[in-house]
């Protein structure tokens, strides 16, 4: 690995499992455009309900969360609605990936 990537091995022990990989990008009160770009590979996607990726921005005590989720059961991407405190479905399709195949996701916020 080159230091710009990580490998996570999740072994479900309960109903849900997850991992968190925080990266601090520095302080900026004026940044308004963010690009989240990931490559993801699941060894057995049949065991997963979906995947979620988030980017967050903190300004003082305010926390701005930009999350996107691919629900394999719904077949569409959802975005996190902070005000409503729930996932809001979009009309953008997503599907369960093939075993051990790489998926590429780019989210602009």
Q: Tell me how far apart the alpha carbons of residues 26 and 94 are, in angstroms, rounded to a whole number.
A: 32
**pTM of the entire structure?**
0.74
45-103: per-residue pLDDT in tens? 888 888 888 887 777 788 788 889 999 999 999 999 988 999 999 999 999 999 999 98
Give CA–CA dist 28/62, Å, rounded. Answer: 13
- Say if residue 85 is exposed, middle or buried (CB neighbours under 10 Å; 0-12, 13-18, 19+): exposed
Strands 86-93 and 102-108: unpaired
Give the three-class secondary structure for 47. helix
What's the token pair of residue 101?
Answer: 């195949």
């Amino acid at each position: 690995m080159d230091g710009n990537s990580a490998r996570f091995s999740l072994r479900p022990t309960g109903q849900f499992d997850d991992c968190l990989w925080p990266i601090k990008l520095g302080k900026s009160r004026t940044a308004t455009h963010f690009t989240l770009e990931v490559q993801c590979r699941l060894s057995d996607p049949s065991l997963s309900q979906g995947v979620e990726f988030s980017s967050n921005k903190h300004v003082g005590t305010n926390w701005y969360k930009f999350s996107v989720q691919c629900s394999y059961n719904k077949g569409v991407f959802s975005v996190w609605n902070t005000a409503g405190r729930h996932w809001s479905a979009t009309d953008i399709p997503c599907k369960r990936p093939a075993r051990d195949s790489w998926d590429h996701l780019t989210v602009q916020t």
